[in-house]
Amino acid sequence: MKNQIKRLATINRIQSTGLELFYQKGFYNTSLDDILKKLSLSKGAFYYHFQSKEEFFISIAQTLLFRKVYLDLIAPIEGKEDPLDTIIQCLDTNLETAENNFLDYGFILGNFITEFNGKNPEVMTYLQDILTVWEVNLVTILQKGKTDGYISRHVDSEALASFIISSYMGVRTLMVEKKNKRLRYKYIQQLRQYFKTMDSRATV
């Protein structure tokens, strides 16, 4: 195996396992030994590729974390026709995945924002950046929905986007308690009802 390729492969392996454990147990509560033990790697390997634990997390945020948020929440709604319906479908799909996943620990990006807030401003900026990409994308799609005649013109796209993000982050946090089985259904039901009032084609 070419060295350059092996290098990237190792980096990716460490990052993947790192993100997995950081998501499960939190950044501060996960030790490098936890990650390296799972990979049968040594401290030497880690510090050869990364400068510090913090720089390591930032590299994860910029690659794997961003990619996950993009694939899960942004890509599925890009270029679709009916924005409101598409957004509902996308959110419901994500909630379904979380619901079926026995080991779900909430909205990964939201969890990290909560964990780093007030502790590490630098890391926070990278997390906020990802959130902003999502928000901007939502606003753009909602605006397009208005010009395309899917959404009533009186709707405030930015406010709606913020509201969607807020409610989704919150419901993902609530879903960590498995007792509340019908939470996904309740949430989607309410959101759908709310969206109905914004449909310019509706007969409300």
Residue ranges that bind its own copies, judged by CB under 8 A: 24-26, 28-29, 103, 105-106, 110-111, 113-115, 117-119, 124, 128, 131, 156, 158-160, 162-163, 165-171, 173-174, 176-177, 179-180, 183, 185-187, 189-191, 193-194, 197, 204
97 binds, among its own copies, DNA, none (CB under 5 to 8 A by kind): none
What CA–CA distance (Å, rounded) separates 181 from 189? 14
> Which of 44, 79, 118, 121 is close enough to bind DNA by CB under 7 A?
44
Q: Does 30 bind DNA (CB under 7 A)?
A: yes
Scanning the structure block, which residue is given the tokens 């033990």?
A: 37
**Of the candidates 11, 66, 14, 74, which has an alpha carbon nearest to the alpha carbon of residue 39?**
14
**Of the candidates 106, 83, 82, which has an alpha carbon nearest to the alpha carbon of residue 94?**
106
**Of the candidates 51, 59, 52, which has an alpha carbon nearest to the alpha carbon of residue 12?**
59
50 sits in which H/E element: none
110 binds, among its own copies, DNA, none (CB under 5 to 8 A by kind): its own copies
Map residues 50-79 to x or -, x wherever contact with DNA holds by CB under 7 A.
--xxx-------------------------
**Of the candidates 106, 101, 72, 104, which has an alpha carbon nearest to the alpha carbon of residue 89?**
72
By the criterion CB under 7 A, which residues form the site for DNA?
A: 1-4, 6-7, 10, 30-34, 40-45, 47-49, 52-54
